[in-house]
A and B are shown apart, each in its own frame.
Chain A
Amino acid sequence: MALPVLQSGLSVHFKGPINQLAINVRFDIATPGITGIKGPSGCGKTSLLRAIAGLHHFPQGYCRLANDIWQDNTVFLPPWKRPIGYVPQDGGLFSHLSVKKNLLFGMRLIPDREPFFTDIVAALHLRPLLERNTHALSGGERQRIAIGRALLTQPRLLLMDEPLSALDLNMKTDILFYLKDFLEKRKICTLYVSHDAEELHMIATHILDWRSIQNTPS
C-alpha cells in the first residue's frame, strides 16, 4: 500500500459574497498551534470561522486539516462530521438545558472520561455553576461554559470567536493561561479571533492580520 503524502496544518481558501461582503481569503498554517486572527470588526472574521466550521458554504472554497479535505470542488463535509470545536462570541448555550447538560451535549460521559470532565470543569471554574440553568448567567460565565463544551468534544481544530470578550481581566488572564497550556499539550490547532491585541499576544503562537490573508493579486 502506497503511503499517502503526509500533510499537516490547516489550509483554507474561501471566495464569495456573504452579507453584502466580498470575501476572498487564503492562508495556510503549517504547524499546530494557536493562530490569532486580528482585524477590524465587520470585516468577515466570523464568516471565515463559520465557513471553516461548515456552517456557511462558499461555492468557491477549499478547506483542509492535515490530510482530511473538508471542502473542495467536489467535497463538502457537513459541520457535524468535522472534528471541530466552535465557540461563538455569545457562547450559544442551549437555554433549555442546565449548565451540566450543555457541557455534556457533545460528549457522552463514560467513566473513562470523568477525569477529563472534572479537569475542564475545575480549570474553567465551572463547578458552582453545574446544576444551574442558563437563564441568569453572566456573559463571562456563558463564554466559559461554551469553551468547556467545545473542549470536551476533543476537537482537532478549535475555532474561537472573541471567546473571552465578556470576562474581566483577572479571569481572562487565568483562563488564557490554562487554555494555552491545554491546547499546546494536546496539539489542537486553534484559530483565535479577537480585536484585543493584548489578548492575542498573550495566547497566540503567531498572529495573522486580516489584510495579510486577503487573496488579492499584488
Chain B
Amino acid sequence: MMGANPLFDPNSIFTALRLSVTLACVTTILALGIGVPLAWWLANCRNWWRDVCSSIITLPLVLPPTVLGFYLLLALGPSGLGALAVHITGRPTFAFSFAGLTVGSVIAALPYIVQSTQAAFETTGRKPLEIAYTLRTPPLRAFLSVALPLAAPGIIAGAVIAFAHTIGEFGLILMIGGDIPGQTRLLSIMLFDNVETGDWASAHAIAGGMVAFAFMTILILRLTQKRLTARPC
C-alpha cells in the first residue's frame, strides 16, 4: 500500500531536508557569532540593565513561537525591514524568504547559545584570564587562547541544541516563512502538509527520521560532554 502511494516523492523530501539542514547550519553559525560575544558581555557586565538584556534574549524560550513569528512577520514585511529588502534583494519583503527565516531562527536559537555559553564563562571565572595577563597576554589573545577553550563544552552544547531546535522549529517558520517548496518548506512544515494530504508514507519517513535525529543529537551531546567535562578544576 505504501509503495503504491502516488503522493510519495523522495525528491521533495530531500529538497526539504536540504533546506532544513542549510537553515540550521546558517542559523547556528550566525547565532554563535552573535551569542558568544553577547554571553561574554553578560557574564562580565555588572550594570542593572544586564538583567533587562538577558530577559529580552531569553524571551523566545518562553513565548509561543507563533507570537514571535507574528511580530517578526510585521517587522520583516514591507513596513519594517522589508523596505531594506527592496534595496538588497529587489523584493518588497523579507517575509516568506530564506533570509527572513534565518533572521527568525537566529532570534529563536540565540537564548540556547547565550545561556549555556554565559554559564560556562561564569564557571571559568576571571582567574585564568588574569593569569594569562600576567604572562604578557593582552585581552583579546587571552580571550581566544584561554576563556574560549575553557568555555568550549558549554559553547558546543549550546550550538548543538540550537541546531537541533532549528531543525524542529515549526510555528515560527510557518508564520514568517509560509510554505514555499524549495524556499521555505522545511521538513517540519512538510510533515504537516503530508498529514493534511494523507501522504502517510512521507509523514512516516520524516517523523521517524526526526526522532532518530533528535535521539542521536542528545546521545552525541551526552557522550561528548562527558569527555569534555571530565576535567576537575
Taking Cβ atoms with an 8 Å cutoff, the residues of A that contact B are 53-55, 78-82, 84-86, 88, 92, 94-96, 105-106, 133-135, 149-150, 153
Contacts and interface: CB of A to CB of B under 8 A. Distances in A.
B150 A95 contact: yes
Interface residue SS majority, chain A: loop
Interface residue SS majority, chain B: helix
B138 interface: yes
Given A96-B150, A106-B136, 12 more contacts: A55-B134, A79-B130, A79-B133, A81-B136, A82-B134, A92-B130, A94-B128, A95-B231, A133-B231, A134-B231, A135-B231, A153-B135
Contacts of A82: 134
B138 A86 contact: no
Interface residues of B, number: 21
Contacts of B135: 80, 105-106, 149-150, 153
B132 A96 contact: no
B134 A105 contact: no
Contacts of A81: 136
Given A80-B137, A106-B136, A106-B137, A92 B131 contact: yes
Contacts of B128: 92, 94
A212 to B, nearest CB: 27
B149 interface: yes
A53 B230 CA distance: 32
Nearest to B138: A80
A41 to B, nearest CB: 19
B129 to A, nearest CB: 10
B146 interface: yes
B90 interface: no
A88 B130 CA distance: 11
Nearest to B127: A92
B232 interface: yes
A84 B232 CA distance: 29
Interface in B133-153: 133-139, 142, 146, 149-150, 152
A187 B110 CA distance: 53
A86 B139 CA distance: 17
A96 B149 contact: yes
B233 A95 contact: yes
Interface in B210-230: 230
